[in-house]
Chains A and B, each alone.
Chain A
Amino acid sequence: MYKILVKFTKQDRMKFLSHLELIRVVERALRRADIALKFSQGFNPHPKISFAAPLAVGVSSEGEYLTVEIEEKIDSNDFQKKLNMELPKGIKFIKCKYVDTKTKSLMSIVEDSTYVVKCYTQRDYQYNEISRILEKFLQRNEIFYEKVGKKNKVRTVDIRKHIKEAIILALEDKEIIFKITTSTGSQGNLKPEIVIEKLVELEGVAMDLEKLRVHRLETFSSKGDRKLIPIDSII
């Protein structure tokens, strides 16, 4: 049994796929490519594919990861080529390498993700003004967010510690582009949209939240020292 780690993109119209839809797309591409898949045991056998961090519908990415377990070894370049022939436009395997079958699941090692977030403001803002607002926002010790959980239960959580970095990449007319790094995974998960939402709410930026567009750049883990390393460099 072998395990392949794949770094891939999910862009263009593929950003509109839900996570479940993405799983099916990958499974079927693997079948079309005639890869000897390893299946789970039990009543309803499934190929053993696991993903690092699911994306919300509408979010594109160039830094997604998955692992797939296979029965017969195949050259990783061939694997990549074969799969890219079968995947729909927008999903592309950009790096494939064999990893130890005993590596921990991706889900459990993911810590952070970096995003580019494009926003539209309702009036013109100067760079300095936004910069000052952002600085003030990040200086807060606590940022409370009302999270709606299962059965519509509302829970108030402090999201400040999950915002790792937020900077302004560009500002032009009414368009602002932020680069935001937030916690991702089972130890804490924060969508960058919520960061913007709170920025608007707490600091009073006049923004069209409906037009927010999010793109994930990379998914990270660390060796316990909180230094961000892309997933494919850590395992």
Chain B
Amino acid sequence: MNEKVEEILYKVEKPSRYIGGEINSYKKVINENMIRFGFAFPDIYEVGMSHLGMHIIYNLLNELDDIYCERIFAPWVDMEEILRKEDYPLFTIETHSSISNMDIIGFTLQYELSYSNVLNILDLGKIPFKSSERDESHPIIIAGGPCAYNPEPLADIVDICVLGESEELLIEICNVYKKIKKEGFVKDRFLQEVCKIEGVYVPSFYEVKYKEDNTIRFVKPKKEEYPAKIKKRIIRELNEAFYPEKVIVPFADVVHDRAMIEIFRGCTRGCRFCQAGMIYRPIRERKSARALELADKLLKNTGYEEISISSLSTSDYSELNELVRGLIKNYGDKKIGLSVPSMRLDSFSLKLIEEIQKVRKTGLTFAPEAGTQRLRDVINKGVLEKDLIEAVTNAFGLGWSTVKLYFMIGLPRENYEDIDGIADLGRKVVQAYYDTPKENRKKGLKVTVSTSSFVPKPFTPFQWEPQDKIDTLVEKQNYLKGKLRHKNITYNYHDSKTSFLEGVFARGDRRLGEVLIKAFNKGCRFDGWQEHFLYNNWMEAFEECGIDPSFYANRRREYDEVLPWDHIDVGVTKKYLIDENEKSKEEKLTKDCRISCTGCGINSGFIGGVC
């Protein structure tokens, strides 16, 4: 380790998150022909290292001899202060090199509130913010991840966006880079070449014109050869797809410190508020035999004491029973814990969870999302109150006494009866506990009701809907707080100002880039961390740029309005999204598309046949 870095590490909190050298991390000898790829997660190490996607890309790229993928995280505030004071550049975890020495830096955009950290990372690496200000001496800046499906707020900042699952895509990009590097690297030549790859979007190759009312007149490619619509990429066959078997075992206590096996991608439920449920289509499963094989390798290679199953709506997995029983059989006596998040708690799942939690019963989490049947029909969340009460009654009888209930407030077409419904459900759960015979139930009932504030997202049926204003959300939260005063109930809710900013950037356009830079210069970073969120500074930045943030968050769009992300093709058609939004107005349900195809469009453009 170089002396300067070592000296710095003596001065920061939790230095183990900066030292590198973890088990299964890569140490390579750097040579001239190698591509140095910095994988940047714009949050702290503990958050970034919990992200499965990072492990996939890290191992995938590092298995290739001519690429060295190193990790970059947002430094915690004490580290940032020292780096700035000592004028020392932000460094990679692997070799402690300045991040500006990378050929390519790829940011993963997991949430909108990390955008200011993207700028902070660039700034600490002395890399200019705007694509147009960077030349051949700077790294190429890539962005991917779920937020990259509407990358427009970062359009002036990043050089390239990668859309969809980037396992194959990143290697193709690196190959083009290598080819151009051999000829003497010219950034524009690289961009011209790389934009031909499916799934690659080069924002600077597109022109955006606005109308007088600030909506978009058109987005069009500057040259004919650039694709008018950029299609996301998917991995067709998950069983053959790359999966990291030797994942890094962090020293620091990261958020999800365990082995993860991804069992499927996509979701068929069709909840109308859920972006993940739309953008990750189609559904693709990994066979349970393969998942079990991966679990075995992962545990052997990491020494982890816990394994978790990862997917959306895990209960929908067609081989869940085989998988969970297999895991219990293989690892139960080795004292390896199993966690299965994202389960729908019907009686079958409950029995499985019972088996998993034989020794220790942690809390159970239910997500009815809305307080009344009417509103659950609006959002197409097919959960019945009767099922929920039945499930919690069962759970109480089996010895659980801690229950969490997740809801959203501010959903489209919500009224105060729906808020009342949340309080009612909370109380009915309490009642179900007291209806359970005393000798069967465990003491100390704890019901936690949490509400997050709904943020309309691109590529969902609610993408045209206005987000509730901050004051409206606060009113609803206060109203609910009053209704939920009960000795067994705790009520938690999200700060509505952060939700507002998330709402602005989620459906933002290119003009937000200036606001972002301005806000960063006013000290904004770690916006997702309550103690660091500077709402007033953000509002100043909007004002100085002459931009009204509520234009993005609180405005209803017409179906014929050009949306900033209309030139991106995620496979789900606009027609399907409009139909779904209309059905939501009529409070009509759409069936799970495992049962029968609901015509979202993913099967025609992406897989050419049945899902």
Contacts and interface: CB of A to CB of B under 8 A. Distances in A.
A20 B254 CA distance: 13
Interface in A11-55: 12-13, 16-18, 20-21, 24-25, 27-32, 34, 39, 43-45
Given A20-B253, A21-B251, A28-B305, 14 more contacts: A13-B1, A13-B19, A13-B20, A13-B21, A18-B14, A27-B305, A29-B303, A31-B299, A31-B303, A31-B304, A32-B301, A45-B359, A58-B10, A90-B21
A57 interface: yes
A17 B359 contact: no
Given A39-B335, A45-B335, A16 B303 contact: no
Contacts of A44: 359-360
Contacts of A43: 359-360
Nearest to A28: B303
A44 B361 CA distance: 10
A44 B360 CA distance: 7
Interface residues of B, number: 26
Contacts of A210: 10-11
A43 B302 CA distance: 23
Nearest to B7: A211
Contacts of A20: 253
A25 to B, nearest CB: 6
3 tightest CB-CB pairs across the interface, nearest first?
A: A28-B303, A31-B303, A32-B303
A89 interface: yes
B337 to A, nearest CB: 9
A21 B305 contact: no
B21 A89 contact: yes
A175 interface: no
Contacts, number: 62
Interface residues of A, number: 27
Nearest to B334: A31
18 contacts: A12-B1, A16-B15, A16-B19, A17-B16, A18-B16, A21-B16, A21-B253, A24-B251, A24-B253, A27-B305, A28-B23, A28-B303, A29-B303, A30-B303, A31-B303, A31-B305, A45-B335, A57-B15
B85 to A, nearest CB: 13
B294 interface: no
B105 to A, nearest CB: 24
Contact of A16 (B9, B22, B300, B335): B9
A197 interface: no
A124 to B, nearest CB: 22
Interface string A188-210: 00000000000000000000001
A16 B9 CA distance: 8
B171 to A, nearest CB: 29
A25 B360 CA distance: 24
B253 A28 contact: no
A88 B302 contact: no
Contacts of B56: none
Interface of A: 12-13, 16-18, 20-21, 24-25, 27-32, 34, 39, 43-45, 57-58, 86, 88-90, 210
B578 interface: no
B251 A25 contact: yes
Nearest to B22: A88
B252 A21 contact: yes
Contacts of B360: 43-44
- Interface centre among A30, A45, A89, by most B CB within 10 Å? A45
B21 A17 contact: no
A16 B253 contact: no
A31 B14 CA distance: 25
A119 B51 CA distance: 41
Contacts of A29: 303
Nearest to A26: B303
Nearest to A13: B19
A57 B18 CA distance: 13
B249 interface: yes
Interface in B1-39: 1, 9-11, 14-16, 19-23
A161 to B, nearest CB: 30
B303 A17 contact: no
Given A21-B251, A90-B21, A32 B302 contact: yes
Contacts of A89: 21
A59 B61 CA distance: 35
A86 B303 contact: yes
A161 B574 CA distance: 79
A71 to B, nearest CB: 11
Contacts of B252: 21
Interface in B203-249: 249
Contact of B300 (A27, A32, A57, A58): A32
Contacts of A25: 251
A25 B16 CA distance: 12
Nearest to A58: B10
A15 to B, nearest CB: 9
Contacts of B10: 58, 210
Nearest to B15: A16
B139 to A, nearest CB: 26
B71 to A, nearest CB: 15
Contacts of A27: 303, 305
A12 B251 CA distance: 14
Contacts of B300: 32, 34
A39 B335 CA distance: 8
Contacts of B21: 13, 88-90
B9 A28 contact: no
Nearest to B337: A44
Contacts of B335: 39, 45
A27 B303 CA distance: 8
A219 to B, nearest CB: 22
A141 B426 CA distance: 66
B250 to A, nearest CB: 9
A139 B149 CA distance: 72
A27 B11 CA distance: 28
A188 B435 CA distance: 55
Contacts of A34: 300
Nearest to A32: B303
A14 B252 CA distance: 12
Contacts of B305: 27-28, 31
A12 B1 CA distance: 8
A17 B335 CA distance: 25
A13 to B, nearest CB: 4
A17 B23 contact: no
A31 B331 CA distance: 12
